[in-house]
Amino acid sequence: MFSLKLVRWLLGYVRFSLKGGNPERFYNYCARGGFPLWDIRGRRQGGACVGARSYRRLRRYAKRAGCRLRVSERHGLPFAVLHAGKHRGIAVGCIAFFLMLRVLSLRVWCVNISGNSKIAGSDISNALTLAGLYPGAPKKDITAETVEQKTMLKLPDIGWMSVNMRGCIADVSVEEKDESPKIIDKSMPCNIKASASGQVISTQVGAGTLLVKKGDAVVKGQLLVSSVVEDVFGGNTLKHASAEIIAETSRTFTKEINMKRGVREPAGGFTVMRNLDFFGVSFPLTFKTKPKGDCDVAACRKELRVFGNLLPVSVYEEKWSRMSVKNVTLTEKQAREEAEKALDEAESGGLKGVKVTQARPSYRLSGDKFIYTAKLTCEENIAEESGIFVEG
Amino acid sequence: MADIGNYRRMQCINMATHMEINGNSEAKVEGCRGVLEYDDDIVRIKTDKGVVRFSGRCLAIKCLTADSLVVAGFITCIEFSN
């Protein structure tokens, strides 16, 4: 009954009064004509309710029955909107709000990914999209288990993942796989040899027979720890030797820097392109095209959050700056600073595990090239396993 | 005797007409052919094979379509005639 009243109210209806003629005949004409009436009043009062759209068509029946119709009351949404007058926008806005609320609540608003460090969020997002989970996807089509399985098949580096729907927000938690440690086969005998030339500073032997002592000079490839261990009875056994031999070594770092070079600089002028992303669908806000020639692009996405929750509305902005190449000549100071920066990077990157105790830099100019050379005194573990072949 | 007479009349009026009476306050009639008379104390409707007359007080037709209607009010009597 409520749904019937609601439909009537949404479509609008009028109550009319009926005067003169034969009301019963009029009611029968209406009923046979396919215009249902309700709340029909008796002969004395005369009148009924009918759908707003049907009212005009009842006039011919009234004429045939000799009655006169007059609208006495108007009800329903169309009349409410019509009578809103200057504030019609408010009524339309309210209707649009409730409709949108109803429609949008059936879809995924945003996907929050957490727990990833090595795998890029965009990769996970793409895999989730292929699995059917993306902003704007119908919630009824999403099965957490299926999405998890499909995503993990796409990304084998994920060890575990969980998809939880929190209203219209999908929380995706991932756990990346840990790299399995390198398995050392300790059953195979091996020696320890020097990986670099230097002077031994300290020794620490786990297994095997130490052949050098503190202060000894060693050359690359020299046997440091033997796998042959002699027991108290004079017998020999072969062991998997392990040791840490710290030695002072020398290294040379060389960096060539071109003094004359082309440097890209902003040439002035830029083009900004913006897109409005709504439920994964992009709507261009600017109609500019990418500038021709050499350009740099900087992109950023402004996301809208309410109470910490990501909304499915974001603005993607690309700033295209025109660039030009300018020939510059570096000063010696600039070249040296660049070379020193490269040395610092090498120490933190390529020379990992090596402690640089002293650096003696020198540089020279060769034509347009600045050659920077640094002689480094380092402390490092020079122990290197060297397998031995045992017959039988 | 009067009840038996009414029963026989109902049987002979029309098998296609279906009537549902809710206490003495509401009657739903399916298979009606039109309203013959309508007032606060009398509602007379035509069916395929006869006429049904509802008597009472404050009677009103709640809903009327091509083949059905709902009579509401304080129904005191229902009569069937050919």
Place of tokens 């910490």: A308
Contact B39 A39 (CB under 8 A): no
Question: Which residues in chain B are contacts of A43 at CB distance < 8 A?
Answer: 38-40
User: CATH code for A2-81?
Assistant: 3.30.70
Looking at 3.40.50.2300, 3.20.20.10, 3.20.20.70, 3.10.20.310, the CATH number of the domain A110-176 comes to: 3.10.20.310
% chain A with pLDDT above 70: 97
pLDDT of A355 above 70: yes
pLDDT in tens, A49-78: 999 888 988 989 999 988 888 999 999 988
The Cα A97–Cα A82 span in angstroms is 18
Q: What are phi and psi of B70, to 5 degrees?
A: -125, 125
Task: Please provide the DSSP assignment of A315-354 as one string.
Answer: EEEEEEEEEEEEEEE--HHHHHHHHHHHHHHHHHTTTTT-
Q: What is the pLDDT of residue A226?
A: 87
Averaged pLDDT for residues A203-231: 87
Work out the mean pLDDT of chain A and round it to a whole number: 86
- Which DSSP state fits A240? B
pLDDT band at A390 (very low <50, low <70, confident <90, very high): low
Contact A42 B38 (CB under 8 A): yes
Averaged pLDDT for residues A376-390: 84
Question: Which residues in chain B are contacts of A48 at CB distance < 8 A?
Answer: 64
pLDDT in tens, B49-79: 789 999 999 899 999 998 899 999 999 999 9
Question: Which residues in chain B are contacts of A30 at CB distance < 8 A?
Answer: 64
Other beta carbons less than 10 A from residue A233's beta carbon: 5
The Cα B35–Cα A30 span in angstroms is 11
Q: What is the pLDDT of residue A179?
A: 80
pLDDT of A13 above 90: yes
pLDDT of A358 above 90: no
CB of B36 closer than 8 Å to CB of A24 = yes
User: CATH code for B2-81?
Assistant: 2.60.40.2000
Nearest to B39 among A30, A34, A43 (CB): A43
Per-domain residue ranges of chain B:
2-81
pLDDT of A308 above 90: no
Contact A42 B59 (CB under 8 A): yes
pLDDT of A289 above 50: yes
Rg of chain A taking only CA atoms, in angstroms: 42
pLDDT band at A46 (very low <50, low <70, confident <90, very high): confident
Among residues A286, A217, A266, which one has the least CA distance to residue A245? A217
Q: What is the pLDDT of residue A205?
A: 87
Distance of CA A49 to the CA centre of its chain: 58
Query: What's the predicted TM-score (pTM) here?
Result: 0.44
Per-domain residue ranges of chain A:
2-81, 110-176, 254-260+329-382, 262-327
A41 touches chain B (CB under 8 A): yes
CB of B74 closer than 8 Å to CB of B25 = yes
Q: What is the pLDDT of residue A190?
A: 87
Q: What is the pLDDT of residue A392?
A: 56
pLDDT of A86 above 80: no
Residue from B37, B42, B55, B63 to probe the interface with A (highest A Cβ count within 10 Å): B63
**The two domains A2-81 and A110-176 share their CATH topology (first three levels equal):** no
pLDDT in tens, A15-43: 999 888 888 899 999 998 989 899 898 76
CB of A269 closer than 8 Å to CB of A322 = yes
pLDDT band at B4 (very low <50, low <70, confident <90, very high): very low
The Cα A303–Cα A311 span in angstroms is 7
Q: A174: which strand partners?
A: A161
Q: What is the pLDDT of residue A350?
A: 66
Sheet containing strand A355-366, edge to edge, reads A217-218, A198-207, A242-258, A369-381, A355-366
Averaged pLDDT for residues B9-15: 47
Q: What is the pLDDT of residue B11?
A: 47
A7 touches chain B (CB under 8 A): no
- In chain B, count H helices and then E strands: 1, 6
How far does the CA of residue B14 sit from the closest CA of chain A (Å)?
20
Averaged pLDDT for residues A264-274: 85
Contact A30 B62 (CB under 8 A): no
Q: What is the pLDDT of residue B45?
A: 92
Q: Among A91-105, A161-175, B19-33, whose mean pLDDT is lowest?
A: A91-105
Residues of chain B whose beta carbon is less than 8 angstroms from a beta carbon of chain A are 34-40, 59-66, 69
